[in-house]
Amino acid sequence: MSDNKIGTPLVEITGLSKWYGDFSALYDINLTVSSGEKVVVCGPSGSGKSTMIRCINQLEEHQVGTIFVDGREVKPGMKNIEEVRRDVGMVFQSFNLFPHLSVVDNLTIGPMRNKGISKAEATEIAMHFLERVHIAEQADKYPPQLSGGQQQRVAIARALCLKPKIMLFDEPTSALDPEMIAGVLDIMIELAEDGMTMICVTHEMGFARKVADRIVFMDEGEIVEVAEPETFFNNPSTDRSKLFLSQLLGH
Amino acid sequence: MNRNTPPPSKLKKRLTVVDFLLYGAVALFIFYAVYRVNDVLVYHWNWSKVLGFLVKFDDESEAWVSNLLLQGLWTTLRLALWATVLATVFGIVMGYWRTCKNLTLRIISRTYVELIRNMPPVVFIFIFYFFVSSQIFPALGIEDIDSEGAFASSAMFHFMFGDPQLFSNFLAGMLCLALFEGAYITEIVRAGIQSTEKGQWEAARAIGLSPFNVLRDIVIPQAVRKILPPLAGQFITLIKDSAIISLISIQELTFVATEVAATTTRVFETWILVGFMYFILCYSFALLFAHLERRAKRSQR
Ligand SMILES: Nc1ncnc2c1ncn2[C@@H]1O[C@H](COP(=O)(O)OP(=O)(O)OP(=O)(O)O)[C@@H](O)[C@H]1O
Ligand SMILES: [Mg+2]
């Protein structure tokens, strides 16, 4: 638990529902994340964790409910969604670095295109963040030449280059070899300590205990339980979260 | 043996009995074909007459100038180059539309591709040609292009489009070919765009790139690398397909070959020569593209 000051609401999700065809993927989601807050989302596979955080930057379009990001409503088909996305950094499970661009170009392309800043200036910003994720010496390599852990750190730096107000992580360590996981988690912990607002979908319970202000437990497209980490892990209040935790710790 | 001894030499590839049998069969077949033509058909080869249609000695300027067949070859090349440029433009626009969310754009591009792919090329070309040359060109006034005008009579124009008096004819043939091949390029482009993983689109959007920048900086550069080889293949196909334009009297290689075969009555010689010319043309491009592809691969770290 961090005792960073928690400020105004940054993401406000109200009555959010989403269907894929007839399949109800999300139902009546309500969640507010304030600036400086760190929220960990967990739940069984297919429970809608990814779908929920992807609605925040409209990689998925919702059908019912409202989402506000830093006071602006985001909705399907809106103009200027790009402006919202620049405030919302996202890190994917499969890294999704641009394979045809060098590491440093992966980082500079966003600031250069979005803010129209010069290549030199963008490179300076990029090198700053590459140093922060301890990978500056790989700047001129291409993504396929890096290990999974290194790629994910580059992906985090790429998102940070836009100076986002909030970071979304969608299972950032589940595609990594075990020995790579710690390096990525360390970066995320450092980010949290610096006061970044974060929503992390992850099953890394050590990370959750250390960093999260709240745990959001989802099942079958609904938020079943919201609790502080200690409460959630030691004394879950629903049968579904008990079952989930026992399965998670079972192996 | 120490570290500096050269590696053991590779086993030599030996020809087996099967190889010899195959070579023998091919040689026998050729021998038989030649025998049939010479002794059974009693065909007297006469190459000089036909070769004279490649180049001739011009008495006026006292120099060797290209004759009908070579001129046809140039026309074919010109047609193919311009048609490729135009077909690529159609292909990129339509191929992009094929992947758009907008239903109207998708219907238009889909109709275009299906119409052309499900009709014999000859039929399409006849329909298109008579529609365009009898309706659209007169309406646009292209028929009355001033062949004596400064631009039309310039060497530049001649080099790029051939004889200005045949310009509207050339344009019709070129458009036909471009529309036709454009449908196939559309499908190549569509496949290229769609082959870019979903995650790439998402990551590009997530960092706030505009739809245009997503395409230009992320999707297209990756797609281009994948589609260049099939695109090169389509270009060679286009050269071969251009023969069909002879049906609407465009004076390209196949059309002039028909004339040469008729006037000289040397049918075998003419078509063997013309076949050889097409082969040289297409094979040179194939070699060139293979070379470029190898170079691109090497420079791609
Ligand atoms: N594009 C789609 N089309 C149809 N159904 C989808 C689509 N994307 C997700 N779903 C369905 O929506 C549900 C929620 O998916 P989501 O990816 O959000 O789950 P998740 O909680 O992130 O699971 P995981 O832990 O496996 O990543 C799943 O049942 C999934 O099959
Ligand atoms: Mg997921």
Structural domain that includes position B144: 51-299
Domain interval for residue A244: 1-87+203-251
Res. A219: pLDDT tops 70: yes
Cβ of residue B17 closer than 8 Å to a chain A Cβ: no
Is the residue at B262 inside a domain? yes
A47 touches ligand 1 (CB under 6 Å): yes
Q: Is the pLDDT of residue A58 over 70?
A: yes
Percentage of chain A beyond pLDDT 90 is 90
* Rounded Cα–Cα distance for residues B35 and B222 (Å): 55
State the average pLDDT for chain A. Answer: 93
User: Has residue A153 been placed in a domain?
Assistant: no
CA of A9 to the centre of ligand 2 (A): 25
For residues A119 and B87, give the distance between their C-alpha atoms in angstroms, rounded to a whole number.
Answer: 36
Q: Is residue A127 part of a domain?
A: no
Q: Is residue B9 part of a domain?
A: no
Whether residue B202 and residue A142 make contact (CB cut-off 8 A), yes or no, is no
Q: Is residue B5 part of a domain?
A: no
CB distance A54 to ligand 1 below 6 Å = no
Query: Measuring CA to CA, how many Å separate B26 from each of B22, B31, B38, B281?
Result: 6, 9, 18, 25
Read off the pLDDT band of A75 (50, 70, 90): very high
Count of the separate structural domains present in chain A: 1
Beta carbon of A41 within 6 Å of any ligand 1 atom:
no
> CA–CA separation, A135 vs B30, rounded Å?
66
Distance linking the first and last C-alpha atoms of chain A: 26
CATH of the domain at B180: 1.10.3720.10
Q: What is the ipTM of this complex?
A: 0.92
Q: Does some domain include residue B281? A: yes
Q: Residue B295 domain-assigned?
A: yes
Residue B163 burial (10 A CB sphere; 0-12, 13-18, 19+): middle
Q: Which of B267, A204, B120, A150 is nearest to B258 (CA)?
A: B267
Please tell me the residue having the least CA distance from ligand 1 atom 22: A50
> Structurally, how many domains does chain B consist of?
2
Q: How many CA atoms lie less than 13 Å away from B210 in the CB half-sphere?
A: 10
What per-residue confidence (pLDDT) applies to A251?
Answer: 54
Residue A145 belongs to some domain of the structure? no
* A83 near B CB under 8 A: yes
Instruction: Report the CATH number at residue A16.
Output: 3.40.50.300
The verdict on B227 touching A (C-beta cutoff 8 Å) is no
Give, for all 301 residues of chain B, the pLDDT tens digit.
677 777 777 777 777 888 899 999 999 999 998 888 888 777 777 888 878 888 777 777 777 777 888 888 998 999 999 999 999 999 999 999 998 889 999 999 999 999 999 999 889 888 888 887 777 777 777 666 666 666 667 777 777 777 777 777 788 888 889 999 999 999 999 998 888 899 999 999 999 999 999 999 999 888 888 888 898 899 999 999 899 888 888 888 999 999 888 888 888 888 999 999 999 999 999 999 888 888 877 765 4
- The answer to whether the beta carbons of residues A154 and A133 sit under 8 Å apart is yes
Clarify whether residues B176 and B125 are in a common domain.
yes
